[in-house]
Structure formats: structure tokens, C-alpha cells
Amino acid sequence: MALQSKFKVDPSFSMSSMTDIVFLLLIFFMLTSSFITPSGIKVNLPSTKGSTVEMQKISVTVTKDMEYYVNDKKIRKTSLEQELKAKLIGNEGVVVLHIDGSVPTSETAFVAGLASHMGVKVSLAVNPE
């Protein structure tokens, strides 16, 4: 008497659902990692103990040679206010200041004063200790 089952079990394993999960995780990590965009201009940021991460839409950079950049676009100091007004139309958020450690404090106060006068939050980018 031969005992055989009517249903045969297929020993192969389908990897399609596993690859779907891996691709979804890959897309998730790619999207979340692009929220913090470092400035492309090299500046020597000051160090501090307490620092938080801010969502930046507008970045103002002042190099040690007193060159001004708004979102990696080089501008003159005299046109900084007009450039900030143009970038702030319809934008809410934080103006992040990337200011070299050797730049005088008066320049930091000048840029921060311009941004706060326009009614936006100002945050200073620093290196954590």
C-alpha cells in the first residue's frame, strides 16, 4: 500500500517580498538622510557643548575672508538684505548662520540682526564638542 499525499510542498522560497522590504527601507533612509544639508563652503565653525539640529531652508555663510554666501551663492554684503528678502518670500523656517570662528562678532550680530528684523528665527551653526 503506497501512501502519498495529494498536495506536494514546494521547497523553494520566494525572495520577492524580501526585496520589496529592502527597497522600501532604502528609500526611507535616503529620504530621511537628506534633511540635513551641510554648506559646501569651508568655514571653521566654533565649538560648543549644547547643540541641536535645525531644519534649514536658508543658509548664510561668512568666510574668514569676509565673503558672504546665501545658499552657496556668493553675494556682496550690501546686497545681503535684498537676497534674504527674495529667499524668504513664502518660506518659513530658520536662517542658519555658518560663520567662521575668526570673523568678528560684529559681523555675526549684523547678519543675525538682518534676519531677525525680517521676522524669522536665527540659528548659529556650530561643531559639537
Query: Residue 95 falls within a domain, yes or no?
Result: yes
- Which residues span the domain enclosing 80? 47-128
Query: Residue 40 falls within a domain, yes or no?
Result: no
Cα–Cα distance measured from residue 44 to residue 98, given in angstroms and rounded to the nearest whole number:
9
The CATH number covering residue 60 comes to: 3.30.420
Tell which residue, 65, 57, 41, has the closest CA to residue 95: 57
Query: Residue 31 falls within a domain, yes or no?
Result: no
Query: Residue 118 falls within a domain, yes or no?
Result: yes
pLDDT one digit per residue (tens) for the chain, 129 residues:
667 777 777 777 777 788 899 999 999 888 877 565 555 666 666 666 665 655 667 888 888 888 888 887 888 988 888 888 887 776 666 788 888 888 888 888 888 888 888 878 887 777 776
Query: Residue 77 falls within a domain, yes or no?
Result: yes
Query: Residue 28 falls within a domain, yes or no?
Result: no
Beta bridge partners of 47: 127
Percentages helix, strand, coil for the chain (3-state, rounded to 5) are 35, 20, 45
Count the neighbouring beta carbons within 10 Å of the beta carbon of residue 43: 19
Q: What is the pTM of this model?
A: 0.59
Query: Residue 79 falls within a domain, yes or no?
Result: yes
The number of domains in the chain is 1
Query: Residue 102 falls within a domain, yes or no?
Result: yes
